[in-house]
Every structure is written in structure tokens, then in C-alpha cells.
Amino acid sequence: MLDLFSQIENPERDEIILLRRQLEEANYQYYVLNAPTMLDYDFDQKLRRLQDLEARHPDMFDPKSPTQHVGSDLHEEKAEKGQQKTKKGFEQVAHRYPMLSLSNTYSREEVEEWMSKLPQGAEVVCELKYDGLSISLWYEHGQLTKALTRGDGVKGDNVLQNIQTIARIPKLIVQDNMPEYVEMRGEVLLPWQAFERLNKEREQDEEPLFANPRNAASGTLKLQDSSEVARRGLDIYLYYMLGDNLPEQTHYDRLQIAKQWGFPISDAVKVCKTVEEVMAYIHYWDIERKNLPVATDGIVLKVNNLALQEELGYTAKSPRWAIAYKFPAEKQLTRLNAITYQVGRTGVVTPVANLEAIQLSGTTVQRATLHNEDFIRQLDIREGDMVWVEKGGEIIPKIIGKEDNSTLPNPTSYYAFPSHCPECGTQLVRIDGEAAWRCPNEATCPPQIKGKIEHYVSRKAMNIEGLGSETIDLLYSQGLLHNIADIYALSQSDIAQQERLGEKSAQNILASIEQSKQIPWARVLFALGIRMVGETTAKKIARRFPSIDQLQWASIEQLTAIEDVGEQIANNIIAYFNDMHNLEIIYRLRQANVQMESTEEEATPQSNVLQGKSIVISGVFAHHSRDEYKAMIEAHGGKNVGSVSKKTSFILAGDNMGPEKRKKAQDLGVEILNEDDFLALIQAL
């Protein structure tokens, strides 16, 4: 009988081990790599199953089980693709109070059940569940001293310098009733607008796209370059106060006090006394959240009375006095009619799902990215399958799975990624460690050629006006453009004779091409389109190597010594200069008098009058553009920063300066200079 019993029990014990392994891997992908591979719902279902199995097998208790701790986001010498790994990483600090996660529920019946277990008459505070990165802000004597990520719940990474780039976070609070120590818990977010801009930039540079704003916020907060963090535009909402000798005895009242102190607290917080009020709140925000500028994925319910919170206590990883209701993602079932392939400017081949049209979140969806071969094989997707399409965060359509046994009569028997480029027929290659297949034919593959030209003429690169994608496509089809050097061989008749153009357009385009010859070396380097060499990285490389000749012969050791240049970027630079086709293009650009080295004025700072100063630019200017002012600041030894803080030296303000920045500057006593004052300052040598 004992042997029979063991045989019955073994499958469940094996399942415990399997579930633990799956959940730990999902936690790692979600918290550390910011690239989730498992849906939240699936994760929670597996976690519940594991809890049930562990309860039936207490002898298999393990304090390291995912049921006993929160997922960890502790920094372990990792960085976004293309970013150099830090030698030091972030300081890890122990939380004064454990930073736990909330239990999730996906049904209103479970919300009612949770509320039914509370003491009669207990008030519940309803709040929006923001989809971002948890943060804990420490204030000592009113001064912001630490900013810790959740980490493993016991200790977290101190990202104080990056947090200080968020304008809405008060750095110093002067209040008579401010306790000696206050800890504010909250959620760091990347607004939709900033998220879309960031992903568009990454798409242009053919870097992996962030799956959602939460992953983008997490990746941003762990960057080593605070100026890049500031540029991306993080935001924050705070939702809980901790500490000793705190005012008020309810959670809601403490949030109102925090709002008076200047903390960013949501206006959507509401005290509910009945289940009906809670359900009305959920129903309202399930619709209205789609109009918010930031991502939300549910509602958080907290017991209002703080003494009752203490009485209810905690489980190993969650408070019993709070619960999160997750909104169901809007999804539709539709047919995958065909898989087509797009080739980007660096040769990456991206599979695209062409779908039978459906309505999701008020828009028509007919296409969705399939990311790469591994993604398709993981979901076992084939043409003709009925697939589930979800709008990630109500914005980006994505395929999340397929309906079993729901294919066309003769579906593709298996999925085979093309072996050759769909545009030029060149055999594709896959670099070790990368998920993407790539066409190596940079010289003659049409979408790569046109993509490189579009990048070269873009505003942040050579800023050649009039050469949009349609015009480039037209000139390419006429055999007038084969690479970026051909731009400087265009004649007025070449352009004027094209459809929809003419003499005036030709004159304007040629004038802009001529002006591009004055673009400084750092922007030329960015315009060349070397893989992973973005705008900021190009500036840092150009400062170290003030001419293309010096850069061409740089060693991998010299390159990786530059901030933000890792081994992969260095290898891309070396490979670029080992390609004879690229060297021919560089020769022709030289012949056209494109700037291939820094001028003496650029290489040598014009002055040190702004040395050590951090300067914010805001508003619209009359004498120079914002980019020109940024260049002036750097030329005179200053540093451009994106947000106002106590470390800001002054603000260069034009017309229509942002009201929030002006108020922040006034509160912190930061000086505001107009254009004339600034120009007088840098000219007073």
C-alpha cells in the first residue's frame, strides 16, 4: 500500500518542483530582464496551484519557494542592450519595513469574498493600480535621502540619483508637522506619450522594443546615465506612508496630508463603505482608465483604519489588509491570414502577422508584430491559425496565443523562418546571443539602403529637409540613390523632374544638402548608422576620438573605455570600418566636404564659464534653437539636464516656459535666465 501511495503522490511532488522552476524563471524575466515571458494571469494561476500543492505536502516547504517571497529586481551588473554594464552597480540597502507584493484577484466575486471577511463597518480605500516599478522614498528631517526599488522585499537597489530626475518628487519638504523619518511608497511610471516616443527611437535604431511602459520604466530606472533617465521622462504616484509618530489614524487621511506636503498623490483615491460602492468604482475606472496618460492594470483595495491593518497582519509575501483586482485585458480571436517579413535598416528581419480585421479598444487591428522566430515557435503559430490578439496596455496589439484545433482545413504543417532575405535573396545570418535573423547584405538590400538614407537625413542626424521616405523611395527607384554618399551627387534636374517635386522643391532640397556639410562631427557619426551607436553615445565617442581617422583605428580596449560603450558596440564600430563598402562611402563623404572631424572650436571648449553647472532649457526661443543652445552649454563646459532639482544651477527660459518647471524653480530658489542674459554670460570672457 505504501508503494502505491508513493506512486500517487509523486506526480504532485514533481509538479511542485516544476512550478517553482517555471515561476522563478518568470520572475527573473519580469523583474531583472524587463522582458516578461508569462502573462500575469497565467503566473497567478500557477502560483495558486503551487500554494495548494505545498499545503498538501508540508514536508516540501522551502523558504526559497516563489510562494514565500516576492520577485527580485536587484541589479546584478546588467544593462539595457547597448548600454555598458556597470563595474559597481547600485548600492543595496535593507528596507526598514519589508516591501511586499499584493495578492491578485481577477474576479469581482473574489473581491466580494475578501470584503466579506473584514470586520463589519470596515471602510475600504480604492485606488488605481498603476503599472510601473515599485519604489520606496526615504525622507529624513524632510530631506530625500534614499530611493529603494522593491528588490527582493528585504533589500533594494538605491536609485536615488535617477529618482531625482523626476520633477514631481519633492527633494526637500519644510513642514512644521513633518516627522523626523517618513517613508513614501509609490510607483514609478513611464507615461504613454514618453513610452511611444522611446519605442519609436528604439525601432529606428533597431533595438528591442519594450513590451509595455512598466518594462520601459524599470529598464530606465536602472540605467547608469542619469541624463538619459531624465530625457526619457519618468513620472510617479505615491500611495502609502510609513514611519514613526505619523499624523492621522487612517490611510486616506495620511494620503491627504502627504498631498499637502507636496507629494504626488492621485486624485482618484476614494473611501468606500459598501461592496456596491467598490463595484461602482471598479466599473467606472475600467472604462475611464483608457483616457489616463499612464498605464493602469487594476484597482487596489486597502483597509482604511491603520489599527485594523495591523490587526489583520501579513502572509509571507502579502498584506491581508489589501488586495489587487486586475482588469481583464481586452482580447479578440481572429484568423492569422499570413506571415510577412519586414527588413529594417540594419538588416533585422521581423515577422509580421497579417490578421483578419478586428476591433480592439476602439481601433481596427489588422497587423501585429511576431517579434522573432523563437516567439513564433514558442507559441506554435502557423498561417491559418485562429489567434488571440490583445492590446498590450490598450495601445500595442500583440498575439498572446492561439486557439487549439481551430485552423483552416490545410494549415501550414510547421513554421519555417525564411532562410534568405525576402527583399534581396541573400542568405540570412543569426549572431550568437541574438534572437533576430539578419540580412548581411548592407550594400544592395533595398530596405536597408533606404532605411540608412532615411536615418542619415533625419532631424537629429544631418537634418536634410525635403528628403522624406516617399522622396527617397522615388529617387532610389530611379537609380539616383544607392547609399548616403549619393545624396551629395544629386543635381537640380535629378530632383525637379521627379513626380510631385519641381524646381522649387529641388532648390530647397539642394540648399538643405549644402547646409548639412556644416553639421558637426558628432552628429555625422550618429548619421552613419553604425549599429547601436545612438545620438548620446555618438557624442561621447566623438569627444574621445575627434576625427574619423582616429576612430577608424581605435582598439576595442580604447572603445570600451568610453562611457556607455560596451563590447558589443565596440565590435560594431570595428566591423563598420572593416567593410570596404563603408570605407568607400566615407571617402565620398569627405570629397563632398562633410565634417569628418571636430573643428578646433568644437574639440576645445570655448570657455569654462559654465564648468560644473547643470542647466535646464525650457520654452521657445527667438535667437537660437534649443539644440543650438544645448551645444553652446556643452561648448562652455556646462551640462544639459532635463528636470529641475536643487542641483540645477539655472534655467535658460524662453517664451512659454513650462509652468511646473517655473514653480519648481521658484520653490527651490533656482535662478531663471532669459536668452539675452544667457548670451551675455557666455560672451563675458
Residues annotated catalytic, as ranges: 129
Query: Which helix (DSSP H) or strand (DSSP E) does residue 283 occupy?
Result: helix 275-288
Q: How far apart are CA 53 and CA 369, in angstroms?
A: 37
DSSP labels, 537-573: HHHHHHHHS-BHHHHHT--HHHHHTSTT--HHHHHHH
Q: Are 594 and 524 in contact (CB under 8 A)?
A: yes
Distances in Å between the alpha carbon of 493 and those of 263, 453, 466, 478, 496? Answer: 62, 20, 15, 13, 5
* Lookup: cell for 422: 525576402
Q: Are 397 and 360 in contact (CB under 8 A)?
A: yes
Q: Checking DSSP bridges between strand 363-369 and strand 348-360, what pairing results, if any?
A: antiparallel
Place of cell 539602403: 449
Q: Are 435 and 369 in contact (CB under 8 A)?
A: no
What residue type is assigned to position 229 of the chain? V
Residue 658: how many CB atoms within 10 A of its CB?
Answer: 16
Residue 17, C-beta contacts closer than 8 angstroms, at least 6 positions apart: none
* Lookup: cell for 609: 564659464
- Phi/psi region, residue 155 (left: phi>0; alpha: psi -120 to 50; beta: rest), is beta
Q: How far apart are CA 269 and CA 344, in angstroms?
A: 45
Q: How far apart are CA 170 and CA 336, in angstroms?
A: 50
Beta bridge partners of 250: 305
- 3-state secondary structure (DSSP) of residue 55: helix
Q: How far apart are CA 222 and CA 317, in angstroms?
A: 24
Q: Are 257 and 247 in contact (CB under 8 A)?
A: yes
What residue type is assigned to position 320 of the chain? R
**HSE-CB for 316 with a 13 A CA cutoff:** 13
Q: Are 215 and 34 in contact (CB under 8 A)?
A: yes
Which residue, 584, 675, 669, is CA-closest to 621?
675
- The sign of the torsion formed by the CA atoms of 183, 189, 191, 192 equals negative
Which phi and psi (to 5°) does residue 388 adopt? -90, 125
